[in-house]
Chain A
Amino acid sequence: MKNEPLVKKIIKQLMKKYIVIIVLISSFQSVMAQQHFTLSGYIRDAKNGEDLIGATITVKELPGKGAAANTYGFYSLTLPAGTYQITVTFVGYVPQKQTVELNKSVKIDFILGESVNEVGEVVVTATRKDENIRGTQMGEQKLDTREIKNIPVFFGERDILKTIQLLPGIKPVGEGSSGFTVRGGASDQNLVLLDEATVYNASHLMGFFSVFNSDAIKEVTVYKGNESAEYGGRLSSVVDVKMNEGNDKKIGVSGGIGLISSRLTVEGPIVKNKGSFIVSARRTYADVITQGLYNLHVIKDTMVNKAKLYFYDFNVKANYKINDKNRIFLSGYFGQDKLGFGNTFGINWGNATGTLRLNHLFSDRMFSNTSLIFSNFDYNINAGNSMSIISRIQDYGLKQDYQFYSNDVSTINFGFSSIYHRIIPGIITLNGDNTKTLDNKNGLENALYISHKYTFSDRFNTEYGVRLCSFTLLGPGTFYSYDADGTIIDSSSYKKMQSVKTYINIEPRASLNYKLNEVSSLKASYARNTQNLHLLSNSTSINPRDLWIPSSNNVKPEIADQVAVGYFRNFDDNKFEFSSEVYYKNMQNQIGYKNGAVLNNNNNVESQILFGKGRAYGLELFVKKKYGKFNGWISYTLSRTEGKFVGVNNDNYFPFKQDRTHDISIVGIYDLNTKWTVSGTWVYYTGNAVTFPAGKYMVDGQTRYYITAPNSNRMPPYHRLDLGATYIRKKTDKFESSWTFSIYNAYMHDNAYSINFQTDPKDPTKTQAVQTTLFKMVPSVTYNFKF
């Protein structure tokens, strides 16, 4: 196959369509009435100059019209000429009112100050009190790091990926894990972005910590499969994590010292009010403690003494306003996990990401962002001198986004992205000299999108769009085809950059909101998502050795179609927010594993997998009390997720391991007084779908277990109460310090981490099931400071 021109053809086609879109938009502009003017500018924090993402502007005279600040704090609102009373609101900030005479287009930057209640705590209010009723977006959950700071923590570390698991439809993969699944999808079907760069493995230390240092993180938004056309690449969700910009007013230092980890953050202006930086670092020292205990003869196991086990990470970000129209941002992350036993075995792994962004204002109604994105995940295994394995996945990307605020009822987002993926599955060195390299895989993922937000009336608004994706597997290399048994039936060689296989997918997305009255609305949405990078993971825990593979001649893109409808209602002057959503998701080209699939160190790994389909459906209920001395939420999910693969379970549907019928989370935070805040969370969920023995038999003197239907058993139900307390020791403008206390699993429930089957050591004629509990109870304390 001679495919090189095909890539060019596709790019050309994409470009053509792109031009059509631009022409379309310019025509929008020309039909606009003459007497409209634009109010635009930025919304920022008074204290540190941070952009207030999602801050809203409402117009008293035109209820229902308004705008929200984008990711960079920019807003634009085009209104008929006139005099308006503008109100700017943002979560936890004092609303600001201003009268604006709009007889020409004006630029106004709003600077909001944090609101403080009588107990000296930041008041956490909604972005706009009734945003959930007005917006079209469904299946979206947004968390500000300030919002979660009082939630009980595990091992003294606030962790945004663990907090999102307390929300409906988002579930942990296991005990204490930062890994999660969304609406029945597999854990690799979540796109985790840190300032636009993909984070391929978002966990440290086998998942007990996430890679996100909460000191460096501003907010996280989770889209549960109904994201707008701007996002794409994974089936189940997008977790969009945004880093802080840093204080552009003054130098600040903050940090925390905990039992097993410490953090330090330095931020400050580069040029006052024009640019700032933030550097945040973190390291765990469990190994230092175990070493100490060993020296004190508390631990006698030499194995523990030799164990090396820690991680560290850095977040760095800088931004600079070149002028009124241009601003640049540079953000980066680097983290490493190190695990080893003496000189015999070691594994290091980590992510590195970098994003260089340029914001440009073409006009007061046309905002643009250009990003250059780099992402890397690698691991390195050493087994003494006998073996070493190096593996890596890298992304080089360009993303261009435009936001066109066409008029007061219409906003158009459009743009493209292009990512070159480079996967090095493994360079294996045996006995120091014999090197074998598994075939590298290269792919080019292009996307072109447009989405339109349109308000028909005060009652009815919509956002719809389409994303056109192409994925091309590129040479060089030899690519194989396999029969059903996994035997090679054909192979062909390709040159560098030569196209091996191209897939093009059109992903339509739409959501509608119909406001029933001032306090309630009905929403509906549909979205198609496709995925061209697939994680092969046949273990039940998070493992850095899990392998990413691209779509290929054997592996088709995964496709999911999700429909959801929801009823949203606010109570008691928007103090309580209630939402209920039902969803149904159909998944094609899902990946399963053949019996005994060999996924590591296998050049023909594509011969080891099965393809099937999946379906997931559920009900999500959520009640949140947003402000007052007591706040928190209750979330409940009823769901099912199943797969169907030829040759598995007699070709019938069976539950995926992440299937959980019930899932409940309760979060409560109470401000006792100016000094103390107490909090608690309680979670309950149905155990994972697992396969237990249905019988046993003897082979060569050993008892073996016979299994029948896969995943037809359940782990015992999981439940746990965590308690937390924050004591503010000192709080002045110059210096703040506080203590955070947490108890994980406060009533010491024996939750099953794993269940193994074995011969009863006391009575060899019997067999027994043995449950392992990881954490009986974990208390922790952290000292935090800021000056």
Chain B
Amino acid sequence: MNATLKEKQGMKSTKEEFLELLSNYQGILHKVCLVYFKNESDRKDNFQEIVYQLWRSFPKLQDKGSIGSWMYAVAINTSISMLRKNSRVDFRETIPEFSDQSTVFDKIVTDERLRLLLNAIHQLDEVDKSIMLLYLEEKRYEEIAKIIGLTKSNVGVRINRAKKQLQQHLKNH
């Protein structure tokens, strides 16, 4: 068997492994997209970009035990990067919330309080959005601190502050 054939087979198995992983954990990507983008088409673009960035960094993933953290980190960083790259997003932020109520969105967000919660999350800044997503996903403070690159106490302060904002928003509506 020559080297090229071996390389191709190795690459194929890596891709298979990556797709298997992605298939199992894709919910993370959908949730990150949901938190960062109001528009279905932006969410689709971002989802594809995240998949690509995950694929690029997959060979460097050494700790297979922290797949979730790796996915959140790449998804959050890519989303923030996409927010600036895509000027359409800035424009669409002025359009009433969830103007494109898609079938998929309606299927996921069936509860009115969840809809309100998502609207409230969209009003947080980019960092607090990601911290609250991780909090809502019941990640431990240590893990959130690791993904965002903050101290544990800083994470705690931010979560408490953002929680108050979200609770206030829900009370007011």
Tell me if chain B binds chain A.
Answer: no
